[in-house]
Amino acid sequence: MKNKLLGRLFSDKNNLWLAAVSAAIFALVCAVNPEIFLSTVNLKSFGMQFAEFGFFALAMMISFLSGGIDISIVSVANLTGVTCGFMFAAVETAGMGANSGPFILLAFVIAICMGTAAGALNGWLIARFNIAPLLVTLGTMNLYMGAAIIVTKAKTIIGFPEAVPEFANGNLGAISVPLVLFIMTAAIVSGILNKTKFGMELRFYGTNPKASGYSGIKNKNIVIKAYTMSAVISAVAGAVMVMRVNSARANFGATYMFTSVLCVILGGISPMGGKGKMSGVVLALLTLQLLSNGFNMIGVSNVLKDFIWGILLLGVMSLNFFSERRKMKS
């Protein structure tokens, strides 16, 4: 069973290449400074950052498979986080912080509800008016971000019960809570994409919307479901981030959207829709996180890191473009 799983994972050339790059980077950072990289504190931080980037990468992957893009994912996360932040602050003010368990659960319910509403709006606008997903989500990105700024008055929300950050920064066994939540989310998304009718129809629609419509698939429903799924994952990420950092603000994680695009494209998800595997996205996520961790260890600035990510994105897109052209000619 284990060999069969590994065989399926590395049967894809892109996955094999990413695994080799990840192994090389891992060996390099271990050689440079093993005491820091392999320390408990660094590994826990690595897992938490991996989970946060992972949520957004999953959300972006769904929109890519539909042949579109959702650039509102971070704004959805922040609006959700702000809402949860107000609730946690009110709980602490009311003196109910000692019994925070139900409110932590409520935060996830709020996240799912807000994600459903935001994603359904994105999908409905795209499907109903046939507007390019980039333009729709650009508009809703500013709508959700503006709403978060207005309700917070551009201030940071603080004063949460102690149990909230303790939960989000805690461990289940040897694995951090955010990483456990990401693994659970990834498993659910993988099951939906690979084992359900919706997953099959989503890939078919992303590959060829016209053929999808002629075959009897309700394209509008597929679009609405895809963007709803993307936003729900983003909203859950927002709730997790707010609990982890013990505060909420309207502009948290501004670079996450770009990083998620880079991760999805590096993972082999086609920007044209329909093609790609989640395993590639997870391996790309691992590669980028190892590289980012290595950059931090040698003191590379965030500005230079963003510059490198930009070059990497352009390079991967160029390679994919020429690879597709060669396939078409042959």
Per-residue pLDDT at 305: 80
Per-residue pLDDT at 8: 52
Amino acid at 113: C
Least confident range from 6-20, 205-219, 220-234, 265-279: namely 6-20
Q: Is the pLDDT of residue 105 over 80?
A: yes
For residue 11, the number of C-alpha atoms closer than 13 Å in the C-beta half-sphere is 9
Residue 74: closest CA among 140, 121, 131, 136: 140
Mean pLDDT of 159-166: 94
Residue 76: closest CA among 131, 140, 162: 140
Domain assignment present for 198: yes
Per-residue pLDDT at 33: 82
Classify residue 130 as exposed, middle or buried by CB count within 10 Å of its CB (0-12, 13-18, 19+). exposed
Cross-strand pairs, 171: 176
Domain count for the chain: 1
Cα distances (angstroms) measured from residue 245 to each of 100, 167, 290: 16, 11, 22
Domain assignment present for 50: yes
- Distance (Å, whole) CA 61 – CA 70: 9
The two three-digit tokens of residue 133, written as one number: 């997903």
Angle at 199 between CA 143 and CA 54, to 5 degrees: 55
Mean pLDDT of 157-185: 93
Mean pLDDT of 88-98: 88
Q: How many C-beta neighbours within 10 Å does residue 94 have?
A: 8
Domain assignment present for 317: no
Residues 22-54 as b or e (16 or more Cβ within 10 Å = b): beebbeebeeeeeeebeeeebebebbbbbbbbb
CATH number for the domain spanning 274: value is 1.10.3470
Give pLDDT tens digits for 189-205. 999 999 999 999 999 99
- Distance (Å, whole) CA 175 – CA 84: 24
Per DSSP bridges, beta strands 171-172 and 175-176 are antiparallel
Domain assignment present for 72: yes
Domain assignment present for 234: yes
Residue 181: closest CA among 195, 193, 171: 171
- The domain of 197 spans 42-312
Q: Is the pLDDT of residue 225 over 90?
A: yes
Domain assignment present for 18: no
Domain assignment present for 251: yes
Least confident range from 44-53, 93-102, 144-153: namely 93-102
SS3 271: coil
- Distance (Å, whole) CA 182 – CA 179: 5
- Distance (Å, whole) CA 78 – CA 253: 8
SS3 33: coil
Per-residue pLDDT at 145: 96
Mean pLDDT of 233-260: 92
Torsion of Cα atoms, 237 then 243 then 249 then 255, to 10°: -40
SS3 320: helix
Give pLDDT tens digits for 281-303. 999 999 999 888 888 877 777 77
Domain assignment present for 24: no
Q: Is the pLDDT of residue 325 over 80?
A: no
**Could you tell me how many residues make up the chain?**
330
> Which secondary-structure segment (H or E) carries 269?
none
For residue 297, the number of C-alpha atoms closer than 13 Å in the C-beta half-sphere is 23
